[in-house]
Chain A
């Protein structure tokens, strides 16, 4: 920032506008560039299987990238900006999506766990609000704790939330008291996705709306031959992208403001912020509540669109660590980094290895041995490879662990490097109006 050597010749406002524009453009460029690389790699991987597979894989990768980016942005506000080490992300997401489900689902128990039967927007608001509320309840006492204690408390809280949702006793209790259910370990079906109804009348396959007709006519059966569910999936991706832009702008504005400055100060040295008259505890609670609300909403948009939710394995602590890895990849403290981290994590670490493993397995002409020991005693590298690619899931987690350790060792500021952002609502890179320069 400090190395821009052009003196502000023009009016400072336009110079400022130009500078921020350039900064924005480079961030946007990075995001779009990342996306382009991911798309190119995915296309190469599935090119031989036809357009449908390519577009389908791109849809999966984009969806995952966006939901991870949303979650990473929310966590980045707490951890990256303020230094609050919250590893209960999965719990807050579960609270959001379950509350939404319970508010929106039909009150008729014939369709599974009963709900309140309220409109979807009410459910989304309620879910976000409930996540914020649980966040506030957790924050009030917990924020006085040291960072590693806070980590353990939030992890414990997220497990308590998961075990509670899992419990059939809790399900029964809710049904008897307020007439809604969680479905216990079996979980619950999610309300219909309105995006689907944009394409199909009442969401029924085979009865497209005029808009659906138009889209299917060009890209679907009538045109390029892409499967209709994939096209509807892209429609939902549009919604997610809009929300992501909203998250980004919200958090950027929060960060580039006096509020963001206080957050940065708290992350670096609470005592200093305190001694300068900042109410550290209040600010921490605010940040925790805002972050948890955003996590709740991210949970709704993510798992609410997946047809069915169940506490295990969807909301295991592993989910939290995924989001953490996304934030760490992008570099904690940077919003653009979180978005890129989410995209990269989803493609390169989450979905990519499975696809590559599957593709490689398809190329190997060998029986898969039933166990690692059997593969080992065969003393045949091809057989070993067959076993490894068939069991790519555990290896993927091993890889994830190695990446995490590598980043922490070598690139603690994130793969993108040091991306400390200015915490002010105005440009600080040079002196406006060229005040008295007495150097």
Chain B
């Protein structure tokens, strides 16, 4: 098999595939430019308005940020606990439901029964308009909801760890992976049991929901802007935590080389606890933000997002926090711009295909995978 560490040999071996991908990517780029310019030569080119492309790109970046935010946690648990956590997507859903329950409670308190609010309208007939959750009308509720999503999901993630994963610390990655599939089922269907199975609208519509930045001539949806600000804020906080604090250093050491870190006396269990709190919290926050973006919620949306999150993490290189963010952006953009070339019901398949290609051609990720955190 030649498990050689020589990257030269590896590159040579992988070259046919990489070459193919590079050629294909080049073709797509040429085609895109031709489309934007309105030139059409044979199968290449066509018509694509710059506006449509810009809006595709922008929504790709917004979705990408949310996916990247969720990816941070997955990447951390993957590298520090050495298993692919299949329950991560359901942590995303957990954050969305609990966070929005709290946001509703604040936004609609008094007018609508508490149980309707806390169960995110499953227990009542109130409409999103009745509750009126929107960043422009109830900014406080939206922000407190975000914090609640983080806190509750972190607690749930920690509880899952104590109940399911802690007893299996010394087991192989595949066994823990299987346990995480069990945990995923438990969390997802408890959500369905408590919150119901119907897809429902969440955010209220506000007449002037776009913020216009006059001099720049740009108009941005207020919720999208909220997501970008919140996601970037959380990512920055994450960055400072990893770089400036003792805990962050310990986490990076654990992710880089577990055995070495244990020998040098890093308190493993404390790092693991911190990993679940941060990873789970960020997953919850990303789920909450995803609902803010989409405006609807359903009990299994996080599970359906999981493969995209995996795609982001793999793209960025497992174990790398910044890689997860970059991978999320790439996946988000692939997701929204692929519709330029392929039917829209294939955009998710396209993102998965990118992920599979990545695993086959460059399993260490776009950025080499060595750089942890």
Q: Which A residues lie at the B interface, using CB under 8 A?
A: 85, 141-142, 144-149, 151-153, 155-157, 159-160, 163-164, 166-170, 274, 280-281, 321, 324, 328, 370-374, 376-377, 388, 391, 394-398, 400-405, 408-409, 412
Contact yes or no, B182 A402, CB < 8 A: yes
Contact yes or no, B193 A151, CB < 8 A: no
Using an 8 Å CB-CB cutoff, how does the interface string of B46-65 with A read, 1 for contact, 0 for none?
A: 00000000000000000000
Q: Is B184 an interface residue (CB 8 A)?
A: yes
**Please, how many angstroms separate the alpha-carbon atoms of A405 and B175 in the complex?**
10
Residue among B83, B346, B355 making CB contact with A156, cutoff 8 Å: B355
Collect the chain B residues with CB atoms within 8 Å of residue A398's CB.
185-186, 189-190, 193
Contact yes or no, A394 B343, CB < 8 A: no
Contact yes or no, A373 B345, CB < 8 A: no
**15 A-B pairs whose Cβ atoms sit less than 8 Å apart in the complex:** A145-B360, A147-B173, A159-B352, A160-B349, A160-B353, A160-B356, A169-B342, A169-B346, A371-B122, A373-B118, A394-B197, A395-B189, A397-B188, A404-B178, A404-B179
**Please, how many angstroms separate the alpha-carbon atoms of A142 and B343 in the complex?**
27
- Chain B residue, CB-CB nearest to A409: B167
Q: Is B195 an interface residue (CB 8 A)?
A: yes
> Most chain-B CB neighbours within 10 Å: which of A324, A376, A391, A398?
A398
**Please, how many angstroms separate the alpha-carbon atoms of A153 and B310 in the complex?**
10
Residue among A147, A373, A391, A405 making CB contact with B123, cutoff 8 Å: A373
> Most chain-B CB neighbours within 10 Å: which of A146, A156, A377, A409?
A156
Collect the chain A residues with CB atoms within 8 Å of residue B355's CB.
152, 156
Contact yes or no, B119 A373, CB < 8 A: yes
Collect the chain B residues with CB atoms within 8 Å of residue A170's CB.
343, 346
Contact yes or no, B123 A401, CB < 8 A: no
- Chain A residue, CB-CB nearest to B168: A409
Contact yes or no, A404 B360, CB < 8 A: no
Given A148-B177, A412-B175 in contact, is the A373-B360 Cβ separation under 8 Å? no
Contact yes or no, B186 A402, CB < 8 A: yes
Residues of chain B at interface, number, CB under 8 A: 52
**Please, how many angstroms separate the alpha-carbon atoms of A163 and B342 in the complex?**
13
Shortest beta-carbon distance, A393 to chain B, in Å?
8
- Chain A residue, CB-CB nearest to B164: A405
The DSSP consensus for interface residues of chain A is helix
Collect the chain B residues with CB atoms within 8 Å of residue A167's CB.
343, 345-346, 349
Contact yes or no, A397 B175, CB < 8 A: no
Q: Is B338 an interface residue (CB 8 A)?
A: no
Collect the chain B residues with CB atoms within 8 Å of residue A169's CB.
342-343, 345-346
Residue among B84, B179, B185, B349 making CB contact with A159, cutoff 8 Å: B349
- Chain B residue, CB-CB nearest to A396: B189
Residue among B182, B184, B185, B346 making CB contact with A164, cutoff 8 Å: B346
Residue among A144, A163, A397 making CB contact with B348, cutoff 8 Å: A163
Collect the chain A residues with CB atoms within 8 Å of residue B132's CB.
none
Q: Is B209 an interface residue (CB 8 A)?
A: no
Residue among B182, B196, B359 making CB contact with A405, cutoff 8 Å: B182
Collect the chain A residues with CB atoms within 8 Å of residue B115's CB.
371, 373-374, 376-377
Contact yes or no, B122 A409, CB < 8 A: no
Q: Is B363 an interface residue (CB 8 A)?
A: yes
Contact yes or no, B360 A141, CB < 8 A: yes
Contact yes or no, B345 A328, CB < 8 A: no
Q: Is B219 an interface residue (CB 8 A)?
A: no
> Most chain-B CB neighbours within 10 Å: which of A374, A391, A394, A395?
A394
**Please, how many angstroms separate the alpha-carbon atoms of A321 and B86 in the complex?**
12
Using an 8 Å CB-CB cutoff, how does the interface string of B260-277 with A read, 1 for contact, 0 for none?
A: 000000000000000000
Q: Is B314 an interface residue (CB 8 A)?
A: yes
Using an 8 Å CB-CB cutoff, how does the interface string of B326-350 with A read, 1 for contact, 0 for none?
A: 0000000000000000110110110
**Please, how many angstroms separate the alpha-carbon atoms of A374 and B118 in the complex?**
11
Contact yes or no, A404 B185, CB < 8 A: yes
Shortest beta-carbon distance, B315 to chain A, in Å?
12
Collect the chain A residues with CB atoms within 8 Å of residue B190's CB.
394, 398
> Most chain-A CB neighbours within 10 Å: which of B122, B185, B360?
B185
Contact yes or no, B173 A148, CB < 8 A: yes
**Please, how many angstroms separate the alpha-carbon atoms of A328 and B119 in the complex?**
35
Contact yes or no, A152 B84, CB < 8 A: yes
Q: Is B183 an interface residue (CB 8 A)?
A: yes
Using an 8 Å CB-CB cutoff, how does the interface string of B165-208 with A read, 1 for contact, 0 for none?
A: 00110010111011101111111111011111100000000000
